[in-house]
């Protein structure tokens, strides 16, 4: 396990676990946390044997948002090119799963919204309470949340600033899986292992189309998709997948 003062990283097979490690302040994000997450995401995308990532928080809490004490002292927890928490402006190419226990509030919720999948414990609580403090969410929540859940639910959460229990988040489709308290990380690791077992080129291309196609017109959608998925169809991994199916064995991916 690699450790820093504020962020832990641990490689579990093909999965990188990233843990915000400031439990004494509910893992509030300061500049050290932001740079630690950014470094972990760089590693996630750089090491070819890493196929998925999981981000979580230590001490039974995901993240309470920006460290306001550090902010009041003039510190802004942003990383150039990656934004708040070293993540929200430039999520990794590799699939990233949020494993949420306890609170994911304000910037903590915006970290969740920058992830591809969300696993939450029953007692997890989400929220964007900035309007209650004279502020607005500014780390992606205002545009990501209404793309993830129904418009009026997003407006309710943003304009009231109320806390949102995991059961409601799951009912709205934001949370992928709900687990007993204390079980979010293991469930996220199981989900990450399923992703990691699939063809890397196909996973990467699929994620890219989902992310980029939001503003494609109907007329251009199939042509633009083909530019991304066509090379996957003609890859050695695609041929290996077909052979493995016929031979009734697990495929061996070469990422080419």
* Catalytic residue selected from 47, 75, 130, 240: 130
* Catalytic residue selected from 24, 32, 110, 220: 110
Integer Cα distance of 51 and 94 in angstroms: 6
Residue 96 belongs to what H/E stretch? strand 96-100
**Cα–Cα distances in angstroms (integers) from residue 105 to residues 216, 244, 256, in the given order:** 32, 45, 40
Integer Cα distance of 212 and 191 in angstroms: 23
Integer Cα distance of 39 and 130 in angstroms: 28
Integer Cα distance of 112 and 125 in angstroms: 12
Annotation marks residue 110 as catalytic: yes
Identify the DSSP state of 6: S
Which residues, including other chains, have CB under 8 Å from residue 49's CB and lie 6 or more apart? 14
Annotation marks residue 212 as catalytic: no
Residue 17, both tokens: 């676990």
Residue 133, both tokens: 């403090």
Tally of CB atoms within 10 A around 116: 18
b/e per residue, 59-79, with b = 16+ CB within 10 A? bebbbbbbbeebbeeeeebbb
Please give the positions annotated as active site: 110, 130
């Amino acid at each position: 396990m690699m450790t820093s003062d504020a962020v832990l990283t641990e490689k579990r097979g093909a999965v990188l676990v990233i843990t915000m490690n400031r439990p004494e302040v509910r893992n509030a994000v300061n500049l050290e946390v932001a740079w630690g997450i950014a470094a972990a995401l760089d590693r996630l995308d750089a090491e070819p044997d890493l196929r998925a990532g999981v981000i979580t928080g230590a001490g039974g809490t995901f993240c309470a948002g920006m460290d306001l004490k550090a902010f009041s002292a003039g510190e802004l927890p942003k990383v150039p090119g990656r934004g708040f928490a070293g993540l929200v402006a430039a999520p990794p190419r590799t699939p990233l799963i949020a494993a949420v226990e306890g609170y994911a509030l304000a910037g903590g919720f915006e970290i969740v919204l920058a992830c591809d999948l969300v696993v939450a414990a029953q007692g997890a609580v989400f929220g964007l309470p900035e309007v209650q403090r004279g502020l607005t969410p500014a780390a992606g929540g205002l545009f990501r949340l209404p793309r993830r859940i129904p418009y009026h639910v997003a407006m309710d959460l943003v304009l009231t600033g109320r806390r949102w229990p995991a059961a409601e988040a799951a009912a709205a489709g934001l949370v992928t899986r709900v687990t007993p308290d204390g079980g979010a990380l293991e469930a996220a690791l199981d989900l990450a292992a399923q992703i990691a077992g699939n063809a890397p080129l196909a996973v990467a291309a699929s994620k890219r189309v989902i992310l980029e196609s939001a503003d494609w017109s109907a007329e251009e959608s199939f042509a633009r998709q083909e530019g991304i998925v066509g090379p996957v169809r003609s890859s050695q991994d695609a041929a290996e997948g077909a052979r493995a199916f016929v031979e009734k064995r697990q495929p061996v991916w070469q990422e080419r």
